[in-house]
């Protein structure tokens, strides 16, 4: 029956029945009742009969799977929307095809003051190189063009865009004829994205939010900051999400904090933390991740942007202000700088306070036993992207080209992190790799390095509960009575319990364990199809003709 809350809002009661409900409350559940924005009951089909006459709506699942909705713990929403609605070179197989797409896009957008594109990766192009500036100038018709690499840590630009950024040639990261990195990249990116009109920005943001909803995603962690997207973009996005009928957006602002006033200013922007892409280093693909030993294909160790002292100052100030801190760290030297800095901060403000703050590290790709132990000691959330391994792992992948096979095989050790008790939160870093929760869970379960594989259940938990816990929502990301009614319906095949090694996980695959099943994510099998996404009891996506 429909009731009203104290604020006068309607609270509808909905019964879902005749499917499979993924719930630790009842591993064999086939039905669920929600009331308003919360889950009220989960149980069997027979017991559901007692609710049938007292609900406002009955949803007949016809065998569909009901799961908690996903959280993507690292995303760039405006950039994702621009890729969805504009020039996306992700997966383009050749330099020639990339230039052809630039020409076509330039012709289709005659009024844009700066052409924006993303996703090129020349690693496996038969030409063996990226486009030169003269080639891009010709393809863009002499217009300003900004074209970020797939990892977003370097970019190709045209002469006309460089001319709009006086002094760029004197900035760190500028080398004539090479992709821009570092300060030069950030300055040009800020100038390029500064040309977006509010209408174009909103169009991109709406597209990204709708796409996320269509994939069963209820929550997104936007990783913004100076030189990444800008304050106007950040505050406009948070306002759009707050009034929209789509995924929630939890905003992180990547700016160092040295005082309570700094923390207050970041909170005033609407941010939940001074974290996300606060860069300690760059990326492996652009050879800017900070390494202990030189790259296998370059005579240097990458770039260090924040040292251990800077990390300690930020973590201590954030902890004292009650604000979540965090960093982007990929290379082994960068991750060590973070853990050394967190340890120094804990000595100042207390380990218990640091642990309680749930500080986080984005990417954390190159870990060893010492840094894994430090993550566990200080309860640092590892916000990681399994699709990186699927895209760049293996003996023939980009990781091996940059680091050599031996070092590359140590990247993204999810099993070691889970064994140590490190909180995991999965994300995509979209548009670096596409939004795709089931793809991420599959990538973790079938990691290219078998020793790093985790169970499908472990990966699923990291992509549902993990992201919600990372923002302090401990009651969310799971289907149990009292939890938020954030869920998705899926058309899928047989449900199974998959573990990476039956010798150590045999208990969980035995039906007697009562472990609820999940879709079979074995590579080659089709992935689940999202039929409906519900957030706080509101339907935000429904697949047409279903």
Angle between helices 77-85 and 198-214 (to 10 degrees): 90
- What CATH number does the domain containing 142 carry? 3.10.310.70
Is 146 in the same domain as 30?
no
Domain end (from 142, 160, 194): 194
- Tell me the pLDDT of the chain averaged across its residues: 93
90-110: average pLDDT = 95
Q: Is residue 238 part of a domain?
A: no
Is 368 in the same domain as 461?
yes
- Using CA atoms, how far residue 442 sits from 143, 429, 469, 516, in Å, is 41, 16, 21, 17
Helix (H, G, I), strand (E, B) or coil at 109: coil
pLDDT over threshold 60, residue 1: no
Q: How far apart are CA 123 and CA 72, in angstroms?
A: 27
Indicate the pairing of strand 529-535 with strand 487-491. Answer: antiparallel
Q: How far apart are CA 188 and CA 177, in angstroms?
A: 15
Is 30 in the same domain as 127?
no
pLDDT tens string 182-199: 899 999 999 998 888 999
Q: Is residue 172 part of a domain?
A: yes
Q: What is the pLDDT of residue 506?
A: 43
Half-sphere exposure of 267 (CA within 13 A, CB side): 11
pLDDT over threshold 90, residue 501: no
Q: What is the pLDDT of residue 508?
A: 46
- What CATH number does the domain containing 514 carry? 2.30.40.10
pLDDT over threshold 90, residue 245: no
**Residue 331 contacts residue 303 (beta carbons within 8 Å):** no
Is 328 in the same domain as 356?
yes
423-433: average pLDDT = 97
- Using CA atoms, how far residue 197 sits from 145, 157, 204, 268, 272, in Å, is 16, 20, 11, 24, 26
Is 56 in the same domain as 119?
no
Is 412 in the same domain as 496?
no
Question: Quick one: CA torsion of 400, 401, 403, 409, rounded to 10 degrees?
Answer: 0
Report which DSSP code applies to 299.
Answer: S
pLDDT over threshold 70, residue 111: yes
Is 61 in the same domain as 28?
yes
Is 168 in the same domain as 307?
no
Tokens of 175: 């080398």
pLDDT band for position 153 (50/70/90)? confident
Q: Is residue 246 part of a domain?
A: no
Is 82 in the same domain as 45?
no
pLDDT band for position 3 (50/70/90)? very low
Identify the weakest region by mean pLDDT among 82-91, 327-336, 429-438, 510-519: 510-519
Is 354 in the same domain as 410?
yes
- 196 versus 71: the higher-pLDDT residue is 71
pTM: 0.91
Range(s) of the domain holding residue 534: 13-69+482-542
Q: What is the pLDDT of residue 513?
A: 53
Q: Is residue 63 part of a domain?
A: yes
Q: Is residue 5 part of a domain?
A: no
Indicate the pairing of strand 529-535 with strand 518-519. Answer: unpaired
Q: Is residue 212 part of a domain?
A: no
Burial class (CB in 10 A: 0-12, 13-18, 19+), 297: exposed
pLDDT band for position 4 (50/70/90)? very low
Domain end (from 149, 177, 194): 194
pLDDT over threshold 90, residue 124: no
Q: Give the residues across from 88 on adjacent strands.
A: 118
Buried b (16+ CB within 10 A) or exposed e, 508-541: bbeeeeebbbbbbbeeeeebbebbbbbbebeebb
Q: What is the pLDDT of residue 249?
A: 98
Is 145 in the same domain as 287?
no
Number of domains comprising the chain: 3
pLDDT tens string 248-284: 999 999 999 999 999 999 999 999 999 999 999 999 9
- Give all strands (DSSP E) within 9-122, no chain letters: 10-11, 13-17, 20-21, 31-35, 38-43, 57-60, 65-68, 70-75, 87-88, 115-120
Q: What is the pLDDT of residue 474?
A: 95
Helix (H, G, I), strand (E, B) or coil at 197: coil
- What CATH number does the domain containing 300 carry? 3.20.20.140
Identify the weakest region by mean pLDDT among 110-124, 330-344, 445-459, 481-495: 110-124
Is 321 in the same domain as 407?
yes
- Using CA atoms, how far residue 237 sits from 78, 229, 234, 249, 250, in Å, is 8, 11, 5, 8, 10
Q: Is residue 259 part of a domain?
A: no
Q: How far apart are CA 321 and CA 228, in angstroms?
A: 24
């Amino acid at each position: 029956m429909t009731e009203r809350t104290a604020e006068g809002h309607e609270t509808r009661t909905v019964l879902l029945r005749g499917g499979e409900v993924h719930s630790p409350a009842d591993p064999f559940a086939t039905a669920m009742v929600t009331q308003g924005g919360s889950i009220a009951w989960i149980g069997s089909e027979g017991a559901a009969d007692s609710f049938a006459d007292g609900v406002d709506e009955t949803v007949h699942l016809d065998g569909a799977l009901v799961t908690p909705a996903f959280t993507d713990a690292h995303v760039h929403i405006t950039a994702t929307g621009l890729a969805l609605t504009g020039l996306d070179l992700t997966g383009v197989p050749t330099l020639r095809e990339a230039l052809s797409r630039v020409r076509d896009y330039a012709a289709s957008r005659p009024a844009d003051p700066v052409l924006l594109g993303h996703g090129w990766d020349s690693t496996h192009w038969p030409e063996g190189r990226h486009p030169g500036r003269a080639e891009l100038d010709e393809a863009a018709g002499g217009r300003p063009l900004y074209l970020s690499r797939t990892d977003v840590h370097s970019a190709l630009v045209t002469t006309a865009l460089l001319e709009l950024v006086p002094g760029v040639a004197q900035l760190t990261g500028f080398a004539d004829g090479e992709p821009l990195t570092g300060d030069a990249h950030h300055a040009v990116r800020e100038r390029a994205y500064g040309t977006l009109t509010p209408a174009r920005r909103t169009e991109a943001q709406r597209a990204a939010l709708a796409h996320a909803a269509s994939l069963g995603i209820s929550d997104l962690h936007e990783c913004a900051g100076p030189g990444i997207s800008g304050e106007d973009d950040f505050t406009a996005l948070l306002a759009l999400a707050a009034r929209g009928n789509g995924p929630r957006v939890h905003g992180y602002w990547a700016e160092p904090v040295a005082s309570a006033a700094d923390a207050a200013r970041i909170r005033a922007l609407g941010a939940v933390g001074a974290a996300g892409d606060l860069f300690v280093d760059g990326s492996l693909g652009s050879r800017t991740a900070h390494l202990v030993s030189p790259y296998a294909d370059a005579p240097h160790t990458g770039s260090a942007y924040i040292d251990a002292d800077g990390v300690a100052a930020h973590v201590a100030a954030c902890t004292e202000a009650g604000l979540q801190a965090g960093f982007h760290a990929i290379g082994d030297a960068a991750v060590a700088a973070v853990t050394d800095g967190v340890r120094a901060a804990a000595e100042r403000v207390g380990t218990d306070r640091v642990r309680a703050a749930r500080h986080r590290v984005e990417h954390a790709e190159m870990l060893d036993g010492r840094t894994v132990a430090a993550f566990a000691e200080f309860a640092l959330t590892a916000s990681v992207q399994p699709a990186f391994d699927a895209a760049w792992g293996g003996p023939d992948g980009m990781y091996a080209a940059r680091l050599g096979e031996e070092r590359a095989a140590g990247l993204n050790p999810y099993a070691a992190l889970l064994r140590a008790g490190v909180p995991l939160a999965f994300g995509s870093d979209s548009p670096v790799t596409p939004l795709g929760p089931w793809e991420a869970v599959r990538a973790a379960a079938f990691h290219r390095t078998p020793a790093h594989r985790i169970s499908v259940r472990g990966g699923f938990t990291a992509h549902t509960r993990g992201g919600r816990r990372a923002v302090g929502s401990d009651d969310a990301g799971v289907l149990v009575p009292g939890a938020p009614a954030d869920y998705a319906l899926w058309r899928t095949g047989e449900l199974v319990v998959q573990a990476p090694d039956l010798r150590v996980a045999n208990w969980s695959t035995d039906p007697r364990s009562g472990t609820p099943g999940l879709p079979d994510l074995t590579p080659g099998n089709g992935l689940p199809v999202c039929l409906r996404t519900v957030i706080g009891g509101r339907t935000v996506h429904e697949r047409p003709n279903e």
